[in-house]
């Protein structure tokens, strides 16, 4: 059975992570069409969850920003290609202010949240373009917010001792920036969080920009500007496509490992069979392992066939995803840009 993956969002209050989830759920439920006509969809299999996501999105289309969370919410999604499930994943939309609270009464709730990140398949760090603009202007509070993302990543590394979990920096509200400013913002943010992108890390790290429209602003809860939501509009698909890319890459590594192990077992069993067949009839009468060895050979052969088929399918899917990803994100493996 396909195990449920966890995609963890890190984002301080007003970073846009909740509205991203509402808009992404609407956009990718419509389906992302690949050049060969195959459709990728991302939907919650739980009707009540999908209804809640749609209602929050409808608030936005009605000209109102959804209110911030007062409690954490878990969402479940299935990603399907040709209606075949590629990945099941969870997203936790935690309540505002919990990541950087200094209230001693909330320490247990915060620790529970940090613990929930430990088995993540992918880490997505959300930071608003407004914060980056101020940080580039040397605003102290905004620079502290960016530095705090490094602290959150350090917390994850300290808890898991796992520096291989893929990470992505998502610059939200990118409609606030011109194309030239976007390039500067990405470079500035990458330098601020440079430990994720350094050589020798052996991790996959990426940076992208996301927007939900043009000239968007929040005036006392009123949504001003043009909301533009679609499967590829404003790079809304990129954080999920990146997560799929990383999960599928991991599956390919696992399949290669299983294939190699099965091939070794097949070779060893074949050698054992050759030795068995060289025995005299007298020896075989008292100690005959031929059937047992042949069963091992057949089992290994079945695994080899299965894993080869899986590798072909996984690589085909990865080849579909990769152009979409690299068109909307800068991806680095061990510090080298793809």
| Domain limit, last residue, from 228, 249, 270 | 249
Instruction: Tell whether 243 and 100 lie within a shared domain.
Output: yes
Tell me if residue 117 falls in helix, strand or coil: coil
Extract the tokens encoding 17: 């992570």
Instruction: Tell whether 52 and 109 lie within a shared domain.
Output: yes
Instruction: Tell whether 174 and 214 lie within a shared domain.
Output: yes
pTM of the prediction? Answer: 0.89
Q: Give the whole-angstrom CA distance, residue 295 versus residue 312.
A: 26
H/E stretch holding 223:
strand 222-227
Instruction: Tell whether 118 and 264 lie within a shared domain.
Output: no
In a domain, residue 338? The reply is no
Instruction: Tell whether 54 and 170 lie within a shared domain.
Output: yes
Instruction: Tell whether 127 and 259 lie within a shared domain.
Output: no
- The parent domain of residue 106 ranges over 4-249
Question: What confidence score (pLDDT) does residue 282 get?
Answer: 67
Instruction: Tell whether 153 and 285 lie within a shared domain.
Output: no
Question: What confidence score (pLDDT) does residue 232 get?
Answer: 92
In a domain, residue 186? The reply is yes
CB-based contact 237:42 (threshold 8 Å): no
Instruction: Tell whether 237 and 257 lie within a shared domain.
Output: no
The parts of the chain modelled with pLDDT lower than 50 are: 1
Question: What confidence score (pLDDT) does residue 227 get?
Answer: 93
Question: What confidence score (pLDDT) does residue 1 get?
Answer: 45
Instruction: Tell whether 266 and 132 lie within a shared domain.
Output: no
Instruction: Tell whether 164 and 255 lie within a shared domain.
Output: no
CB-based contact 240:42 (threshold 8 Å): yes
Question: What confidence score (pLDDT) does residue 96 get?
Answer: 67
In a domain, residue 123? The reply is yes
Compute how many other C-beta atoms are within 10 angstroms of the C-beta atom of residue 46: 12
Question: What confidence score (pLDDT) does residue 65 get?
Answer: 92
Q: Give the whole-angstrom CA distance, residue 43 versus residue 271.
A: 50
Question: What confidence score (pLDDT) does residue 2 get?
Answer: 59
């Amino acid at each position: 059975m396909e195990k449920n993956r966890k995609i963890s969002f890190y984002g301080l209050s007003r970073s846009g992570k909740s509205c991203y989830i509402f808009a992404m759920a609407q956009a990718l439920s419509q389906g992302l069409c690949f050049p060969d006509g195959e459709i990728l969809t991302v939907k919650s299999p739980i009707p009540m969850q999908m209804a809640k996501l749609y209602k929050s999105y409808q608030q936005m289309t009605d000209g109102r920003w959804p209110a911030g969370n007062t409690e954490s919410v878990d969402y479940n999604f299935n990603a399907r290609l040709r209606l075949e499930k590629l990945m099941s994943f969870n997203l936790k939309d935690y309540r505002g202010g919990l990541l950087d609270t200094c209230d001693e009464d909330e320490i247990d709730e915060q620790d529970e949240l940090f613990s929930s990140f430990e088995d993540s398949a992918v880490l997505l760090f959300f930071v608003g373009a407004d914060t980056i603009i101020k940080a580039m202007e040397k605003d102290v509070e905004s620079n502290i917010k960016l530095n705090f993302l490094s602290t959150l990543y350090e917390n994850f590394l300290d808890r898991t001792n796992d520096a291989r979990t893929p990470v992505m920096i998502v610059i939200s509200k990118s409609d606030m920036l011109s194309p030239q400013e976007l390039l500067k913002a990405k470079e500035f943010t990458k330098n601020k969080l440079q430990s994720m992108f350094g050589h020798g890390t052996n991790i996959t790290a990426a940076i992208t920009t996301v927007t939900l429209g043009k000239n968007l602003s929040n005036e006392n809860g009123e949504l001003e500007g043009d909301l533009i939501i679609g499967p590829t509009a404003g790079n809304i698909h990129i954080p999920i496509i990146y997560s799929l890319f990383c999960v599928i890459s991991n599956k390919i590594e696992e399949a290669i490992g299983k294939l190699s192990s099965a091939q070794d077992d097949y070779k060893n069993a074949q050698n054992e069979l050759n030795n068995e067949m060289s025995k005299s009839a007298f020896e075989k009468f008292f100690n005959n392992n031929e059937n047992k060895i042949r069963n091992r050979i057949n089992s290994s052969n079945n695994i080899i066939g299965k894993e080869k088929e899986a590798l072909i399918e996984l690589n085909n899917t990865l080849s579909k995803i990769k152009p979409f990803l690299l068109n909307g994100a800068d991806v680095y493996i061990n510090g080298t840009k793809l």
